[in-house]
Structure 1
Amino acid sequence: MYPLDTYFNSVLLLKGLLRQFLQHMQMNVARWGTAAQSTLFYDWYTQNALDGLSSTCSHTTTQTDPWWKLDLMKMYSVNRVTITNRPDCCESRINGAEIRVGNVSSDVFSNPVCAVVSSIPAGATYSYSCRGMEGRYVIVNIPGTSKILTLCEVGVYVIFPGNLATGRTITQSSTIGTWLGQQAIDFNPGFIQPSLSCSSTTAQTDPWWRVDLRYIYRVSRVVITNRLDCCPEQIDGAEIRIGNSLENNGNNNPICAVISSIPAGVSSTYTCNDMDGRYVSLFIPGDSRILTLCEVEVYGEGPVLKKTFVKMNLKSSSSLSEPGMRVQLLSQLQPALVERGFSDVMLQWSQPPEKEVMRKEAVPSECAQINTGKLKRNVS
């Protein structure tokens, strides 16, 4: 059987590897943007290519160099693009289509080509690797005369690496409507429907938002995305705090940075210089303040395993030389630590308690038996 220390460290290592796997998530960001196309054929609307239904499609008229353009509202590193061809007829119309990724909106044909579609069977979905090409716009166009561009579904997949906040528990001081705290870590910057993609408190004194990373991490930076639709000044003066205490809802932890301002729809990065902490909070001091967050990203390394040795003097009528009494004492200390926010803690004796006789100064003839021992505390 492995020693308890070895087993505990192994569990943390496995959790860390699983965490790294989960953090590198691939998301379809296509529906977070808005689409346009060169021409419209009846009610075959541009947005039909983003509705998740292969039975509804976008469609241009017959023209020279038809195109369809998706504005992702911010620049992404695009891993791959998927295209679903129409199922009912005319599958060859997509042949020769070019997929482009770039940052030029006015001249769509000047953006670099990710891939060229040779053919897609009727109703099929094909994936095209873009190898991390960066751009705000994804364009599908067909060069030539008398062409028709029909798209029944377009997916744009982006890899989000290393966000420690992903999937963690969120708490905020209050919630207005559907602006839930968890929406600040859903990858969606909320440029289209902020009420379903951003978090927001009500107007209150000292509003706050907090993510529990569950373990202690060494945080290198925090990225905050501000809302695009209005009120960018609401974030002004927000404090980013990192630490292990839940005192004052975590708002007494050390400050990583103070946000002076973030323009509407912009993601700003704040360096935290490897601060250690389990909790990352945003806190705005003042009356009648509203805290709105469209995305919070936390980057760093960990979990960090900390070992702390605590020397204790314990007055006991029972003998702590008995193993059963020592186990009972640890079971009593454990919930006391949990109440103080240390839920991921393992206690064990690093050496057996030793009995000492201490003489009272006032009454030299009397003595008290004091059990002393060292506790080793592993905190993750």
Structure 2
Amino acid sequence: MSNVQLENEISQKRKVFKTDSYPMSIGEFSNMYINNEVLINPDFQRNFRWSDLQKSKLIESILLGIPVPPIFVYQNDKGIWEVVDGLQRLSTILQFMGVHKSEPPLELVETNYLPSLKGIVWGNNEESDDNNPLIFSNKQKLDFKRSKINLSIILNDSDKDAKFDIFERLNTGGSFANPQEVRNSVMVMMNKPIFERFLSLSTNSNFINCLNINERLINENYNMELALRFIGINNFSFDSKVHVSDYLDHISKKLCEYGDSEFEDIEEKFIKIFTLLNNVSGENSFRRFKEDKYTGGFQESTFEFVTIGVFNNIEDLTESNLLEKIRSVFTNDTFNRYTGSGSNIKTRVPKFLTEAPTHFKVN
């Protein structure tokens, strides 16, 4: 790649992200929120609620003049700001000031530098009393509202995916535990109704029972990643040239472009497949079968091979003929060649997409 080509790419992509930045007082921002000029969607980060100590430390930072990371907002076509990153910070500030529309007023707890914050509340105008030690004084309120927060604004004429791309880059490897939780938040931003239907599939009792994974993995949304992997591999082209995480990012965005009828087709087949699997083999559906017994725990490679095969033959498979086909997976040459030590999803899935439909075919 030449430097000229690189420069051209930089120049073109810079046009995708049009931003503006400036500091704003907390008082001014809270007024915008009260007047519905700023949208804060708690579903973006609903799994990452701060503790009272974390919230109190943020208030402490503002009071002491310690810099707070910038807030990212997206200006929609009506001129209204949608919070892309910084929801917890903004929610904490608004909750402390008693103006948050869905959270009760915040009572602070003791912090390292300001132990006297313990029990402090903002109070309303009638309660503003300089003699009440548990209510912010008028001076403290004014100082707090005059404190500045830095805003980075993604302007409306940016590329339509800009706010999602920025959200992913800010949160991947940061405050979020894993990439699936970032995808969940992006899906909420793009199409909340579709996300809720996807969430329902990923927590379907038949699906969860077949996976047979522990509570820790469910808390980390591993079941959602597996549901997305199943939907992607079986309903979209599998791209072996990209990292699986990037592939799943792409699938989550494609799903959000679906209408109700399109998603219904995915939904109905998903439920039908995992209901059948649960009835036939239950929690053993994706465990290794060897020497007439099941061993070990859930295996991703088994999950992929079995679900690809069942997906492509669901109209012919029944409770009477499926169990033996699942058990015989472990004697399939292609399955054994591309699983085990050193197995890689990018190399095995293309092979599985060819072999698994044949293995599960009903003669």
TM-score where L is the length of structure 2: 0.26
Q: Whose radius of gyration is greater, 1 or 2?
A: 1
Judging by fraction of residues, say which structure has more strand.
1
TM-score normalized by the length of structure 1: 0.25
**Greater percentage in helix:** 2
